[in-house]
Amino acid sequence: MTRFAVVNPATEETIVEIEEAGVEEADEAVARAKAAFPTWRALPPSERARLLRNVAALVEEHADELARIESENVGKPISGARAEVAMVAEVFHFYAGAVDKHYGETIPVAGGVDMTFREPLGVVGLIVPWNFPLNIASWKLGPALACGNTVVLKPAELTPLSALRLQELMGEAGIPEGVVNVLAGKGSVVGQRLVEHPDVAKIGFTGSTEIGREVMKGAAQTIKRVTLELGGKSANVIFEDADLEQAARAAPYAVFDNAGQDCCARSRIFVQRSIYDRFLELLISATDGMKVGDPRDQETEMGPLISAEHRERVSSYVDGNVAFRGNAPHGPGFWFPCTLVEASNDDRIAREEVFGPVAAVIPFEDEAEVVELANATPFGLSGSIWTRDGARALRVARGIESGVLSVNSNSSVRPTTPFGGFKQSGFGRELGMHALEGYSEVKNVYFSTD
Ligand code: NDP
C-alpha cells in the first residue's frame, strides 16, 4: 500500500504518514461489514444501546486526546475542538437512547392485523468532509448503528486521524469486529467505489454540492439510498429593531467560526438600510476583536484554512469593496484574515460558497425584499434572523427556503433536532429522531386472522 502524509495546516508540518486505502481495501471493508451485519442487526436492542453508551463514555474519557487530534489535523482552535468532541459523545448518548424508541405501528385493516417494522438497510457507506471530521462522522454513525446497519466510513483524505482513533475506541467499547470499518483514502477512489459497490445499500454523504451530484448519479446505478448534506450560502438578516450590539457581536462567529469552513456559515449578512452604517461599524469592531492564531492556545477563536490550495481559492473571492481585513499570522500555516466585503446579492462573492473567512455585507429595504434576496440562491441550508418583533421573526423564518433557521441566535446543530438542507443544499435529515428515517426501511406485514 502506498502511504500519504497528513499535514498540520497551522504549521505545514507532517503529523504522520499513513497507508492509503484503495479499491481492494474498500471491497474488503464492505465484505467485512456484510459479514458482520446479521449478528449486529440481531442483537437485542438493549445490547446495541449498551454498546453505543460505551462508545459515548469512551469518547468522554478520551475527550482531550480527540480534541487535540482534531485541532492539530484541521487547524481548528482547541476550545472549538473540545466543544465538538463533547457533541460527539452527546450524539452517541442520544442514539443509544433511540435504539428502542424507533418502532413500527399497527394499522386497522379488514380480516387481519397489519403491522410495520423498521428494518436496517444493511451495509451503509458514510463519506465525510474535512471541516468537522469527527462531528459529522458521529451524526451518521449514531443513527446508522442504532438502526442495526454496519458501516464503512471514509473520512476526507486530509483529515482521517480522528476517525481512525474513534474506530479503535469503538473496538474497546465492545462494538463487534467488522461493524465499523474506517478507510483513509481518496474520494475519487474509495468514495467512488463505495458509491458503486453493489453490496452497499446507502450512502450518507456530506461535502460539496458538486461531488454530491456525482454521488447521486453513481448511486442511481444500483438504486442506492442517499442522504446528501451539501453546501450553503446562508443569510444573516439584521432588522432595524434588533439588539444591534448583540447581533454584531454574534455575526463574526456565524461566519468566521472554523475559519469560515462551515456549510452553515452565514456568509451573506443582510442589513436593513436604516441602520446599515451603524451596524457595519459595530460589525467591523466585533470582527477586529476575533483572536486569530495558534490553534493550541485556549483563547484562539480562529485558526488557518485547511490547505494552500484552498487558501488560493478563498482569496480569489476578495476583489471587491473590502470594508475590513483583519490580522492573521505570517510564515508557515495556511492563514487568511477575517474579511468583510460590501457587496450586492448578484456579486460572485454572494452567489458562491467561499468556505473561508469572507462575508458579504448587503443592504435591504424591507421584510419582503430580504426574503426574496435570501432565497435568490440555489442553496438552502441555514440562516439567522435578528429582530425584537416575534411575529416578523416567524414570518421571515417561514419565508426563507432553508432547512435550519435560528432567531436571535447563531445556532444550527443540536444532537436532538433535525439538520439538513433545502434545494441544492441536499436532502435527508441528520440528527434527532429524523435521522433514523434515513437509515431504515419501513416493512409492512399483513397477518390474516380469517
Ligand atoms: P468534497 O465534496 O470535495 O468532499 C467530501 C467528501 O467526499 C470527502 O471525503 C471526499 O474525499 C469525498 N469525495 C470526493 N470525490 C468523491 C467521489 N467522486 N465519490 C465519492 N466521494 C468523493 O467536499 P470537501 O471535503 O471539500 O468539503 C467542503 C464542502 O463540504 C463544502 O462545500 C461544504 O459546504 C460542504 N459541507 C456540507 C455540510 C453539510 O452538512 N451540508 C457540512 C460540511 C461541509 P477526499 O477529500 O478524500 O478526496
pLDDT in tens, 285-308: 999 999 999 999 999 999 999 999
Beta strands 112-120; 321-325: pairing state: unpaired
Cα–Cα distance measured from residue 132 to residue 413, given in angstroms and rounded to the nearest whole number:
12
Q: Which three cell numbers stand for residue 24?
A: 481492494
Radius of gyration of the chain (CA): 23
Mutate to test the pocket of ligand 1, among 127, 234, 312 (most ligand atoms within 8 A of CB): 127
List, for residues 143-173, the tens digit of each pLDDT value. 999 999 999 999 999 999 999 999 999 999 9
User: Which residue, judged by its Cα, is nearest atom 22 of ligand 1?
Assistant: 187
Which residue is associated with the grid cell 456525482? 214
Instruction: Return the sign of the alpha-carbon dihedral for residues 119, 125, 131, 137.
Output: positive
The Cβ-side half-sphere exposure at 20, using a 13 Å CA radius, reads 17
pLDDT digits (tens, 9 = 90+) for 240-296: 999 999 999 999 999 999 999 999 999 999 999 999 999 999 999 999 999 999 999
DSSP codes of every residue in 301-363: -B---S-HHHHHHHHTT--SEEEEE-----SSS-----EEEE--TTSHHHHS---SSEEEEEE
Contact 377, 233 (CB under 8 A): yes
Residues 320-355: tens digit of each pLDDT: 799 999 999 998 999 999 999 999 999 999 999 999
**Measured at the alpha carbon of residue 225, what is the angle toward residues 224 and 231, in degrees to the nearest 5?**
115
CB distance 420 to ligand 1 below 6 Å: no
Q: Nearest residue CA, atom 13 of ligand 1?
A: 187
Distances (CA, A) of 416 to 6, 98, 366, 413: 33, 10, 34, 9
- Identify the residue whose C-alpha is closest to ligand 1 atom 34: 231
Indicate yes or no: pTM above 0.85: yes
Q: Which atom of ligand 1 is nearest to the CA of 263?
A: 34
Residues labelled as active-site residues: 229, 263
CA distances from 236 to 89, 117, 133, 208, 357 (A): 29, 42, 25, 21, 15
